[in-house]
Structure 1
Amino acid sequence: MTPRDRLLGLTVAIMWGLNFLAIRVGLDHFPPYFFAALRFLLIAIPVMIFVPRPQVPARWLLLYGFGFGFGQFVFLYWAMHTGMPTGLASLVLQSSAPFTVLLGAVMLREKLSAWQVSGIGVAVAGMALIGWDRSHQAALLPVILTLLAGLSWAFGNLGSRLAAAGTTGDPAPMRLMLWMCVIPPLPMLALSAAVEGPSTGWEALGTAFSADGWPALIGLAYIVLIGTIAGSGIWTILMGRYPAGTVAPLSLLVPVVGIGASWLFLHENPSALSLVGAVVVIAGASAAQIRRTPRAAVPSNTPVRQAPARLEV
């Protein structure tokens, strides 16, 4: 992974870590499923009008959209609505990283080096340390729901990678991400109508333009523009360039940002043990980016060509 792409991945981690604050503010006003539908609906409408559909197999686009867009946010918003603390949610959701690595190895036959496996193991140990220290802040159901959100994200990661690999012509990862947003709104609105009531979300949207509702609109704008378009767009590009096991560990840095932001703005005070766990996560995620593979000696005057990545399904 190049230093530039690693920096892009770290930028996404910051964007997504702060995204949890925006979600918390939005859920204080909107019902969860309607809020999830609204974030994608605001993107889907202009995308269908102005953005050409990427030439990718429909099954991989659907897997990407239902995994990353629908399943992840159904379970995440449900968990946070039922009492999952913001900082802890940002941590447990990063179970998507080991889930992605496992699914990538099993379903895509992606090979992992021992160094990567060790780094991921260290990062997961750091997550477990933070989770154990903070588990008293959440009941069992919200934690399980957030783990299901992480598993859904992992399936979405595989969908985006398979879609990028199956593209005819230009991979167009940004168009792929934007068209992913077209998939969740209708099933999410149907779920909202069935569970929350057909008018509840729309009534909340009408009152959002009042003095009490404007923070939710700002949170929605951040989620759409920064968390989804910018963050997910960069993530999709990275997932198209590198194996899932190389990119996914970067998401382990999101809870470090999320816990820090929750402490600063929501006064969720992290303990010393949580801070130690955060340092362990950073160390493990950094180590997991290094692929130590033997390289044959090449004469200095011989140009080196990198073979294109091969994806076996």
Structure 2
Amino acid sequence: MTDLVETAPPARKTDFGKIAAAAGLAVVLWASSFVAIRSVGHALSPAPLALLRLAVAAVTLTVFAVAKGAVRIRLSRKAFLLVAAYAVLWLAAYTVVLNAGERHVDAGTAALLVNLAPLMVAVAAGKFLGEGFSRSLVVGSLVALGGAALIATGATGSNDWAGVLLCLLAAVLYAAGVMVQKITLRHVDGLTAIWLGCVVGTVVLLPWTPQLVSELQVAPTGAVLGSVYLGVFPTAVGFTAWAYALRRTDAGRLTMVTYAVPAVAVLLSWLLLAETPTAYGLVGGVLCLAGVAISRRR
């Protein structure tokens, strides 16, 4: 785990535009995923939806890998285990838990809660990597936790509480996935990492194949198309773009751009689904983002 404290190689000025474009693309696509999950979640259960999403992503990325000539690449045992670890944590478990959470809370609220992940990364680094706890990290943590508590206060029903807890668990899995992925990208390129990760995630979720087949038989066309969209764009394209940027810059700095995900998700949710978080959710979400921002100050 000490590899996490290493910084990425300095990027040339000509690379900054590509890094920014890749990170921006990932942010927009990931924000849209919250809306898509909320839209199709009524037709497909959490695990079958995750299976279909990752299977579509695996097929899409296989095409990319074949075109790039990466299908014959050989990985060390360590590299494969790292890929498998982040695939299980982020691509499989996180996706299933988020799908379940969005059955209970709106897309904007889910995005606000999941975006606590950068703060969790900072806390984990302070605890396990010897980076310590700065004053800004402590203050930011308290502010963010206050925001999460405010969002939970607005969850009046038991289902809403379940959604809040599930989204917080998704944030934990997200943070763990980022930390493991950063190490993984020192041993394998971004396309290969996300491609093999989607394959591993699909294999892990194969036990839900019978349920997926059963639900697809009665699912509306829009739900199926939405699931395919999740696999192609937020997963295959979005994670590839993120891996490209992550390999070329520091994880802590890059995760700051994800602050924009909840804002974009709330806007898309309002435009496409006519839903917005409650007043508690909006105010609590602002506090969560403020807390994350404070914690990242040097």
Instruction: Report what 2:164 is aligned to.
Output: 143
Report the equivalent of 1:304.
none
Q: TM-score, normalised by structure 1?
A: 0.73
Check whether the contact 2:82–2:184 (CA below 8 A) recurs between aligned residues: yes
CA shift in 2, pair 1:174/1:130, >3 Å: farther
1:58 maps to a residue whose letter is F
Structure 2 contact 112–285 (Cα < 8 Å) conserved: no
Preserved CA contact (<8 Å) 2:105 2:163? yes
Amino acid at match of 2:217: G
Match of residue 90, structure 2, among 64, 68, 91: 68
**Conserved in 2, the CA contact under 8 Å of 1:122 and 1:280?**
no
Measured in 1, the distance between the counterparts of 2:230 and 2:146 equals 27
8 Å CA contact 2:116–2:288 kept in 1: the answer is: no
Q: What's the CA shift string for 1:226-249, capped at 9, x where partnerless?
A: 201221112222322333322223
Match of 1:77 in 2: 99
Deviates more, 1:267-276 or 1:140-149: 267-276
Distance 1:107 1:12 in 2: 28
Does structure 1 retain, via aligned residues, the 8 Å contact 2:154–2:280? Answer: no
What residue ranges of structure 2 are gaps of 5+ in the alignment? Answer: 1-10
Stretch moving more, 100-109 or 128-137: 128-137
Q: Return the TM-score normalized by structure 2.
A: 0.76
**C-alpha distance in 2, partners of 1:111/1:93?**
24
SS in 2 for 1:241: coil
Which runs of structure 2 are paired with 1:102-117 in the superposition (5 Å)? 102-109=123-130, 117=137
- Alignment-derived partner of residue 185 in structure 1: 202
Quick check: 2:115–2:258 contact (8 Å CA) kept in 1? yes
What is the percentage of aligned positions where both structures have the same residue? 22
- In the TM superposition, residue 27 of structure 1 has moved relative to its aligned partner by 1.4
Residues 22 and 244 in structure 2, CA contact (< 8 A), matched pair in contact too: no
Higher helix proportion (structure 1 or 2): 2
Q: RMSD value over aligned CA atoms?
A: 3.3
Bigger-Rg structure (1/2): 1
User: Match of 2:47, as an amino acid?
Assistant: Y
- What CA distance in whole angstroms lies between the structure 1 residues aligned with 2:162 and 2:97? 11
Paired residue for 2:42, among 15, 24, 28?
28
2:31 and 2:41 map into 1 onto residues whose CA distance is: 16
1:12–1:234 contact (8 Å) kept in structure 2: yes
Count of aligned pairs: 275
Aligned equivalent of 1:131: 151
